[in-house]
Structure 1
């Protein structure tokens, strides 16, 4: 099974969230990414401020970007 890596950047830090997950395919990596994003954003518990950015990149075993999920905030 292919291995996918999930990299989170919060505007201040960038880190690999895990040592990679073996998943059946890109579709399964998408489901994992969207689920993890929801949990991670919830865990911020109000700490995301206007002007902050948050994103997750999904990479394959070669390091190529597969998906990018972005969350940007701004004051209106």
Structure 2
């Protein structure tokens, strides 16, 4: 099974997991990304500052991004 890796970016912080997740295919990879992101979205949004962005990507074995989920906080005034 192919390996997939998570990367999180939050302002100046960016990090990629060292340990890959074995997932059957792209559909399974998308399902895992949305599941993990759903698990952390509440805690992320409570800590998000105005005019900032948080994102999680799922990378393939060569560390090429396949999917990205972003949470953006914007001040509109």
TM tier, shorter chain? 0.7 to 0.9
Structure 1's consecutive aligned runs of 4 or more residues displaced over 6 angstroms after TM superposition are none
User: How high is the TM-score relative to the length of structure 2?
Assistant: 0.87
Structure having the higher helix fraction is 2
Q: How many angstroms apart in 2 are the aligned matches of 1:61 and 1:2?
A: 7
Segments of structure 1 that go 5 or more residues without pairing to the other structure are none
SS of aligned partner of 2:15:
strand
Tell me the CA shift for residue 45 of structure 1: 6.0
Q: How many angstroms apart in 2 are the aligned matches of 1:10 and 1:2?
A: 27
Tell me the CA shift for residue 38 of structure 1: 1.5
Q: CA RMSD in A?
A: 1.5
User: How high is the TM-score relative to the length of structure 1?
Assistant: 0.88
How many equivalent residue pairs? Answer: 76
Map of 2:31 onto structure 1: 31
Tell me the CA shift for residue 60 of structure 1: 0.5
